[in-house]
Structure 1
Amino acid sequence: MHKKSKIIAAIVAVFVVIGLVWLVRPLDGYIESPGEADDLSQFVKIDGKQDTSKGRYNITSVYLSRANGFSYLQTKINPHMSYAKSEDVMGGQSSEVFNEVQNFYMQSAIANAEQVAFKKANQEITATYRGIYVLSVSDTSHFKKSIKVGDTITAVDGHHYENSDGFIKYLANKKKGVRVTVDYLRNGKKGQTAGDTIKLPSSKSPEYPKGRSGIGIVLTDNVAVSTTRKVAVDPGKIGGPSGGLMFTLQMYDQLTGNKLAKNRNISGTGTMNVNGYVGEIGGIDKKVIAAKEAGSTVFFAPYIAPTKEILKYEEQHKTNYQLARDTGKKYAPNIKIIPVETFQDAVNYLETGKIIKTTDKVK
């Protein structure tokens, strides 16, 4: 081999090695892909009994895996895979804190599902509001060093409310820099701290489209429920709040005699608040694919009316329903994508087959 050829071969070999190293080297991000559509009857027991009816309600999930060069390249050719930076997935939290938050989200979703299902079924349930569970604290918050993820805020300036909306509204219209005192619980022990309000950025919230004041925490309600009929839920390793709607349907159908599913394979997603409203979630396109793989013929998708302001913040600049509908048309034509704003919308569809009228016109 000539000297020049040897040099070229050596250069090629170096690039090959570099390429191989890049393919297997971990990247600072995650790959999101379709997860599972798990039958909720295996997770939920009421009075010690599982649902044995032929119908099926599925909780859908998104699978997260650490990214490397090879999996990153896969996202360029596989429309059902996407890459997300670690900061966007974890929010700057450690994996331990992230998992703790996801677990609390799930427990909160289950508690809300119980409240809605039992009330709809006219069965007795008691809810005790503990306060606000802290999911994260922003870097700009004046409480960054004094409030921690996992704390439960019980009062602000001595005011205790029966839901997080009360705390939010109390702070929303205050000016930036107003001193407030916060009472909290940490591992069962009481604490108190003080700090200034900050101006929060605008969001897709129709109530505060131009932003509001707050203390810079992401929160959810910490509620304990007790029922006359024993409910046992074991979600396994599934975390997050997005299973709220499907848990509610599973519980309600079991409580009322399994009359809704009617032998159908039903999937869906969406958060559930105590008043029965369904909230948006992430990765809905991947959840539609998971539902398809599980053989579902119905998929419930959270619905909000699209506006130009809202679409700025939406995944792929489409609302949950729009993205689910478009994914279904292209990749899962045998699934009916059903828009729901409330738990009652889902019940109405399962009872009558009729969809509540919505509009996709951007306002």
Structure 2
Amino acid sequence: MKFNKTRNKVFGAIFIFIVVAAFFIMPTGYYLEVPGSAEDTSQFVKVDGKHDKKKGNLLLTTVGIVSGTPFTLLKSLGNNFETIYSQQDLMGDENSQEYFRVQQYYMKSATNNAVQAAYTKAGKPFTKKYLGVYVMDILDNSDFKKKLEIGDTITSINGYHFNNADQFIKYVRKQNKNSTVKISFTRDGKKKTASGKLVKLADTKRFGLGITLTDNTIAKGNPPTKINAGDIGGPSAGLMFTLQVYSQIANKDLKAGRTIAGTGTIAPDGTVGPIGGIEKKVYAASEQGATIFFAPDDPVTKEIKKYEPGYVNNYHLALNAAKKIHTKMKIVPVKNLNDAINYLEKTQQSK
């Protein structure tokens, strides 16, 4: 009898240990978006083979994505700088590997746009080379579902080479709906081919490959610029990379010894676009000691208000975040590259 009581206590202790351990470490299928890091862009950028050695910092900012456990999800409730997402909300139908590949494409696109915007502003020459169409998604009914992967770049179809995604789409539309097409593509630097039939595209009368695509290009400047962001993905570092590249190729000391952070996509013409998670990026920048933070001042149009009545633009979200953490960091609204450069040059003179 005594043995049974001892055994029950042991089993009970083991059970409690398993429950407690599960509370702290068991995945839930949910994720937390949290403040990430603020990284000096000079470490990622080389112009003419050299890093920027001027005093000060131009910081890109990130969010962190962590797997949610029962403990971390419960702890995040009421925290203004942690947001819970389901895997579907965060990644859609992509698995984690596909999601990472798409984020890497967004970063590559951002760095290409940064080169174009910076060189245009500095009046320096650059070239833009078309690589093909980048595969963003593959529909379940596509004949290429098991042949293509997200991240592949299609370079030709039936031997036809195209100069943009529109040409590719127009060529496919001209094909007989029952035809079989042969595509050439690259994956991880290796050339491959595949053949398949066209499929009916949902909610249309058209037939196609059944893929979501976008243009894949590379921009090269003179002097040469190389941007290697490592494992950082997404498009939101575009503005800060542009400022870093511009300061080097134009030989402008925009930093003047200051720690400057920011976020925002960049278009080749210098337009700055909104991003997600800006509150977490304000937090990360403040923690790193930034005194200036550039926030996209994206216009809130009637169309946006129609579909999302409660929409608040990036700049005002950043202002609210700064107030919550009582930071002295200046939140500066920017609509384009010129706004950021003009502000830095003006405040540099008034120091």
Q: TM-score, normalised by structure 1?
A: 0.76
2:192 maps to which residue?
189
Greater shift after overlay, 241-250 or 254-263? 254-263
Aligned 8 A contact 1:289 1:332 in 2: no
1:281 maps to which residue?
275
CA offsets 1:30-56 (integer angstroms, 9 cap, x no match): 111101111111111112221111231
1:205 maps to which residue?
none
Greater shift after overlay, 96-105 or 139-148? 139-148
CA offsets 1:40-90 (integer angstroms, 9 cap, x no match): 111111122211112311010011111101110121042211211112222
Aligned 8 A contact 1:43 1:234 in 2: yes
2:85 maps to which residue?
84
Q: 1:273 to 1:220 in 2, by over 3 A?
A: farther
Q: 1:93 to 1:70 in 2, by over 3 A?
A: same
Q: 1:91 to 1:315 in 2, by over 3 A?
A: farther
1:207 maps to which residue?
none
2:69 maps to which residue?
68
CA offsets 1:71-118 (integer angstroms, 9 cap, x no match): 101210422112111122222322222222222222221122112111
Taking the aligned partners of 1:292 and 1:315, their CA distance within structure 2 comes to 30
Measure how far apart 1:161 and its partner are: 4.5
Where 2:28 maps in the other structure, the secondary structure is strand
2:304 maps to which residue?
310
Decide which of 309, 320, 345 is 1:351's aligned counterpart: 345
Amino acid at match of 2:74: L
Taking the aligned partners of 2:310 and 2:31, their CA distance within structure 1 comes to 18
RMSD: 3.6
CA offsets 1:173-216 (integer angstroms, 9 cap, x no match): x9xxx99989562432355653334449xxxxxxxxxxxx9987
Q: 1:321 to 1:161 in 2, by over 3 A?
A: farther
Taking the aligned partners of 2:168 and 2:84, their CA distance within structure 1 comes to 33
2:43 maps to which residue?
42
Show structure 2 runs of 5+ residues with no match: 1-8
Aligned 8 A contact 1:115 1:125 in 2: yes
1:56 maps to which residue?
57
Taking the aligned partners of 2:64 and 2:309, their CA distance within structure 1 comes to 17
1:262 maps to which residue?
256
Equivalent residue pairs, number: 325
1:240 maps to which residue?
234
Show structure 1 runs of 5+ residues with no match: 1-8, 201-212, 354-363
Amino acid at match of 2:192: K
Taking the aligned partners of 1:169 and 1:336, their CA distance within structure 2 comes to 46
2:6 maps to which residue?
none
Measure how far apart 1:217 and its partner are: 5.0
Aligned 8 A contact 1:47 1:229 in 2: yes
Aligned 8 A contact 2:154 2:186 in 1: no
1:229 maps to which residue?
223
Measure how far apart 1:325 and its partner are: 2.1
Where 2:68 maps in the other structure, the secondary structure is strand
Aligned 8 A contact 2:147 2:194 in 1: no
Q: 1:348 to 1:133 in 2, by over 3 A?
A: same
Taking the aligned partners of 1:132 and 1:303, their CA distance within structure 2 comes to 31
Structure (1 or 2) with the larger CA radius of gyration: 2
Aligned 8 A contact 2:115 2:220 in 1: no
Q: 1:215 to 1:115 in 2, by over 3 A?
A: same
Aligned 8 A contact 2:30 2:86 in 1: yes
Amino acid at match of 2:53: T
Taking the aligned partners of 1:215 and 1:342, their CA distance within structure 2 comes to 37
Taking the aligned partners of 1:155 and 1:341, their CA distance within structure 2 comes to 37
Aligned 8 A contact 1:150 1:186 in 2: no
Measure how far apart 1:123 and its partner are: 1.4
Measure how far apart 1:147 and its partner are: 4.9
Identity of aligned residues (%): 40
